[in-house]
Amino acid sequence: MNSSLFIFFDSIRWQDLVDIGLNSYILFRLYVLLRGTRMFRILIGILFLWFLQKIADSQGLIVTSWAMQAITAVSALIIIVVFSHEIRNLFRTRDFVALLWGFPKKNDLTPVEVITDSIFKMASRHCGALLVFPGRNDLSDILKSGIATDSIISREIIQSIFWQGNPVHDGAVIIENNRITHVASILPLSDRTDLPKFYGTRHRAAKGLAESTDAMVVLVSEEKGNIMVAKGMNLEEIGNPAELKKHLKLQGVHDGGKGNGFAVMHLKTMMAALMCVIFVTGIWYGVTRGISHTLISLEAPIEYINRDPEMNIIDTTIDVVRLRLSGSDVLVNSIKPDQVRVKVDMAAAKVGYNSFVIENENIILPPGINLSKIDPRIVEMNIDAPKQKIFPIQPDWTGILKEDLILASIKIYPKELRLKGNTRVLYGISTVYTEKLDLNSIKKSGEIIVKPVIPAGVSLDPKSNAHQIKIVYIVNKRDVEEAE
Amino acid sequence: MHTEKIYLTALCFLVFGATILMADSDPDKKGQVPLEPAPEVKLTLKEASTCEDLKNSKPWNQAVVFSLKNRKVTCYCSFDPVPEKTFIQHRWFHKDRLNARRKLILKPPRWSTFSTIQMRENDKGPWRVEIMGPDGKVFQTLRFSITD
């Protein structure tokens, strides 16, 4: 067990750590930038669908897998279309540094100090008020009765809402985070009969909501100018701002100070970062190591590097090498032919027969793929290099000489020429012939200028002066006496 | 007594002189200069040519172009000296391809010989004959063409 664990950790490359770290950070950044948005929740949903699809696939649920795959693909498309505005804003409103670093300043923390201060000011002026701080219960029925708004909390806004001349001053305000989301909300009145007689409608409304939900209601009595907090079955009078802050804190209302709320927020962020690392590590492990280990065999062509341009490979014993590769199912199945390369260094190659051993270092594989076998390991090749060789020149006569004439002798200038080419090609040549020379027009001795016919695969040495050849020929009268 | 001394002195001179003479005639004696070796006689090609035929054992109508009408081409060669009985080869090439090989005997002190090929329709083109010695050395290459 220990040894297998050691082998596992030993097999982790620095590239893997970078891979995990980079992708974890990207995921974490996406979380930071998108948290609290609808898009983030939908992304989580798509991720969940993807997991379901993988599970269905592994369990052989063909239709389910297919359906999940289709839904995931369509969802990804929809998210781009539907949230195109949000995505555009994300990249438009934030600079590059903000995308990669830092946290968006979210002013959604409730300004407890402002609320407390406003409440006590209203109390001092006997200005009646009802403020609802929702818990986890759904308050949608109550919210329907109010007027939706989206005001950032401030002393002035709170006090002006509950100013007696304001048409909405009689209802309750709903406070969520740093905003007043509804005003003039009508709260359900308490049915209790044991309440003190001096409790007015505002008290009964506060009690009614607090008794039926987990919301906390802060009320300011218009008559007595006192502050009371209704939570559950209790209705408690508040004597000082610290007491009110304590109640707000118990309700989960925090202002982002260095208190518990701040710590919770950072703890959440840290947890999110840790989850990103765990999630990406899981994906990395699944992809690179995988549950199933696959072994494949494929043929890869040999690439010859550092070849002297002057050298030509005449023939080789092999052109491809069969490689046996292993790795996780995902990685092995995603190998493309151009990702596997066999390179043979020809820096030390010499003219003639050469033998190269193909080592593991000569094989380039995609990350995460292991090499099990190379077959064959030796490649032999015959290498040739251009050489120069001198050849005699011979005229290629054609046609018919007059019957009474005989072409007795010739002299060629130059007698020979120098050709450049591969050894093997030069080896097959012994004479360089001229272009066809017509005998029909020859009546007497003379000379003629012709061009050599250079055989295929070789070239005339640039320094050679045999581009044109002069042939001086001697024509004699034929001896017509009978030979022996 | 005096006469005996004269005979004895004469005998000593005779023995001494004979000893010197015997020493002169013995080539194995130390300090003697050996005789110069006789110069090596090499097989030498004196004359070579391609011709239409032979006349009086000499090439007739020497040429470098032969018409198919002549039906044959002869390669004549003459060696002088020929130090010992040996052989040569006439190797006939048509467009760099060996077409025929003739082994010819040479006898001392000098020797002339020849080989002939019959021409056919598809023999047109450039030819060469290599006159090759017994050790593979090519004495001379004669080049000619066969035409219509």
All domains in chain A, ordered by first residue: 11-105+259-288 (no CATH), 111-251 (3.40.1700.10), 294-383 (2.170.120.30), 387-483 (2.170.120.40)
A-chain CB neighbours of B55 within 8 Å are 481, 483-484
Confidence of residue B28 (pLDDT cuts 50, 70, 90): very low
B-chain CB neighbours of A439 within 8 Å are 65, 147
Q: The pTM is what?
A: 0.45
Supply angle C-alpha A265, A270, A275, rounded to 5: 125
Say how many CA atoms lie within 13 Å of A354 toward its Cβ.
Answer: 24
Say how many CA atoms lie within 13 Å of A30 toward its Cβ.
Answer: 15
Here the tokens at position A17 are: 């750590």
Cα B1 from Cα A152, distance rounded (Å): 175
Write down the pLDDT at residue B37. 64
Cα B54 from Cα B56, distance rounded (Å): 7
Please indicate, yes or no, if residue B57 is contained in any of the structural domains: yes
Cα B145 from Cα A71, distance rounded (Å): 85
Please indicate, yes or no, if residue B136 is contained in any of the structural domains: yes
Please indicate, yes or no, if residue B1 is contained in any of the structural domains: no
Looking at residue A452, the DSSP 8-state letter turns out to be B
Residue whose tokens read 């994906």: A283
B-chain CB neighbours of A395 within 8 Å are 126, 145
What stretches of chain B adopt beta strand conformation (E)? 45-55, 58-62, 65-67, 72-79, 86-94, 97-106, 111-118, 125-132, 138-147
Residue whose tokens read 């991720």: A47
Confidence of residue B23 (pLDDT cuts 50, 70, 90): very low
Here the tokens at position A319 are: 């052109």
Write down the pLDDT at residue B22. 47
The answer to whether the CB atoms of A409 and B126 lie below 8 A apart is no
* Mutation to test the B interface, candidates A390, A391, A406, A427, most B Cβ within 10 Å: A406
A-chain CB neighbours of B93 within 8 Å are 430
Confidence of residue B38 (pLDDT cuts 50, 70, 90): low
Please indicate, yes or no, if residue B29 is contained in any of the structural domains: no
Q: Of residues B113 and A384, which shows the higher confidence score?
A: B113
Mean per-residue pLDDT for B116-125? Answer: 92
**Count of the separate structural domains present in chain B:** 1
A408: closest chain B residue by CA: B63
Tell me how crowded residue A150 is: count the other CB atoms within 10 A of its CB: 8
Residue B118: domain span: 45-147
Tally A–B CB contacts below 8 A: 65
End-to-end CA distance of chain B: 108
* Mutation to test the A interface, candidates B132, B147, B148, most A Cβ within 10 Å: B147
**Does any CB of chain A come closer than 8 Å to the CB of residue B68?**
no
Distances from the Cα of A407 to the Cα of A404, A439, A443, B76, B93, angstroms? 10, 9, 10, 17, 20
Cα A160 from Cα A180, distance rounded (Å): 13
Supply angle C-alpha A196, A199, A200, rounded to 5: 150
Torsion angle defined by CA atoms of residues A246, A252, A257 and A258, in that order, rounded to the nearest 10 degrees: 90
pLDDT at B16 over 60: no
Q: Report the CATH number at residue B135.
A: 2.60.40.2550
Write down the pLDDT at residue B31. 45
A-chain CB neighbours of B141 within 8 Å are 392
* Mutation to test the B interface, candidates A407, A432, A437, most B Cβ within 10 Å: A407
User: What is the pairing mode between strands B86-94 and A416-422?
Assistant: unpaired
Please indicate, yes or no, if residue B34 is contained in any of the structural domains: no
Taking only the tens of pLDDT, chain A with its 484 residues reads 566 677 777 777 788 889 899 999 988 888 887 776 667 777 788 888 888 888 888 788 888 888 888 888 888 788 778 777 767 766 665 566 666 776 665 555 678 888 899 999 999 988 999 999 988 777 877 777 888 888 888 888 998 999 888 888 888 999 888 888 889 998 888 888 888 877 888 888 898 888 888 889 999 988 888 899 998 888 888 888 899 888 888 887 766 554 555 677 778 888 888 998 998 888 888 777 765 677 888 899 999 898 888 788 888 999 899 999 888 777 788 888 888 999 999 888 888 889 999 998 899 988 778 888 998 999 998 888 888 889 999 999 999 988 889 999 999 999 888 898 888 788 888 899 999 999 998 988 999 999 999 988 888 887 776 788 999 999 998 887 654 5
What stretches of A177-319 adopt beta strand conformation (E)? 179-185, 216-220, 227-231, 234-238, 293-305, 312-316
The answer to whether the CB atoms of A396 and B62 lie below 8 A apart is no
Point out the residue among B55, B61, B64 whose CB comes nearest to the CB of A478. Answer: B61
Please indicate, yes or no, if residue B108 is contained in any of the structural domains: yes
Cα A333 from Cα A470, distance rounded (Å): 69
Write down the pLDDT at residue A339. 86
The answer to whether the CB atoms of B63 and A407 lie below 8 A apart is yes
* Mutation to test the B interface, candidates A390, A404, A416, A430, most B Cβ within 10 Å: A430
The answer to whether the CB atoms of A395 and B126 lie below 8 A apart is yes
The answer to whether the CB atoms of A483 and B62 lie below 8 A apart is no
Backbone φ/ψ region at A450: left (φ over 0), alpha (ψ -120 to 50), beta: beta
Cα B72 from Cα B118, distance rounded (Å): 4
Q: Looking at A223-304, list the stretches that DSSP marks H as alpha helix, in order from N- to C-terminal side.
A: 241-250, 260-288
Q: Residue B135, class by beta-carbon neighbours within 10 Å (0-12 exposed, 13-18 middle, 19+ buried)?
A: exposed
Give kind and range of the element (H or E) at residue A211. helix A201-212
A-chain CB neighbours of B114 within 8 Å are none
Write down the pLDDT at residue A30. 82
pLDDT at B33 over 70: no
The answer to whether the CB atoms of A433 and B128 lie below 8 A apart is no
The answer to whether the CB atoms of A395 and B145 lie below 8 A apart is yes
> In terms of Cα–Cα distance, which of A142, A121, A136 is closest to A244?
A121
Residues 77-136 of B with CB under 8 A from A: 93, 96, 124-126, 128
Please indicate, yes or no, if residue B58 is contained in any of the structural domains: yes
B-chain CB neighbours of A456 within 8 Å are none
Residue whose tokens read 């707000």: A248
